[in-house]
Amino acid sequence: MTMMGDPGTKAEVLSLEELEAHEVYRTGRKHVLSILVENKPGVLSRIAGLFARRGFNIDTLTVGPTDDPEFSRLTLTVDGAVHPIDQVTKQLHKLINVLKIRDLEPSDTVARQLALFKVSVDGSQRAEVLQLCDIFRGRVVDVTRKSLIIELTGSVEKIEALEKQLRPFGLVEMMRTGEIAIARGRGET
């Protein structure tokens, strides 16, 4: 049976069971990987390529220096999929510039994102938006006659909650960083 697609191609009709067998299943378990690497060119692209080849979609990726300028820390979040995360971490360990990998347990981790929201406000709405900013412990970092820019640091849920509250006022632009995370307590780094 021929179906619509590229000209001259034939497509098979799949049953529901066959279609489900081809899909990537999500476990719902978010993996937060903290990866210590040498601060060298090409390391980030090799790590991202490894995840892509294994069929993982990287949700967030943040890279920053450590206390030693020779090393950087990548914080990478992915949703669990059919492919076990251990296969990827074993392959990451084989990469030359990767020194240490930790799969942080979400319940034992402090994780934060930074977001900037540009909101269109007139005089009557300004007080409401400023009140929301206070409730969420945000900070106004820029003010013009017609807009405010709010900075918010917090959990993914907190940032999404403020975004939902600001949309009706006229959310002009929003920018979010990737997640950074650190294990609670006195563990190894």
pLDDT tens digit sequence for 24-79: 444 557 789 999 999 999 999 999 999 998 888 899 999 999 999 999 999 999 87
Spatial separation of the C-alpha atoms in residues 129 and 95, rounded to whole Å: 48
CATH code assigned to 26-108: 3.30.70.260
Spatial separation of the C-alpha atoms in residues 31 and 109, rounded to whole Å: 11
* pLDDT at res. 185: 86
Fold equal for 26-108 and 110-183: yes
* pLDDT at res. 114: 97
* pLDDT at res. 188: 56
- Residues 92-126: b if buried by 16+ CB within 10 A, e if exposed: beebebbeebbebeeeeeebebbbbbbbbbeeeeb
Task: List the chain domain ranges.
Answer: 26-108, 110-183
* 136 Cβ contact list (under 8 Å, min separation 6): 152, 154, 158, 161, 162, 165
pTM reported for the whole predicted model: 0.74
CATH code assigned to 110-183: 3.30.70.1150
| Mean pLDDT over each residue of the chain, to the nearest integer | 84
A 10 A CB-CB count for 35 gives 22
3-state secondary structure of 62: strand
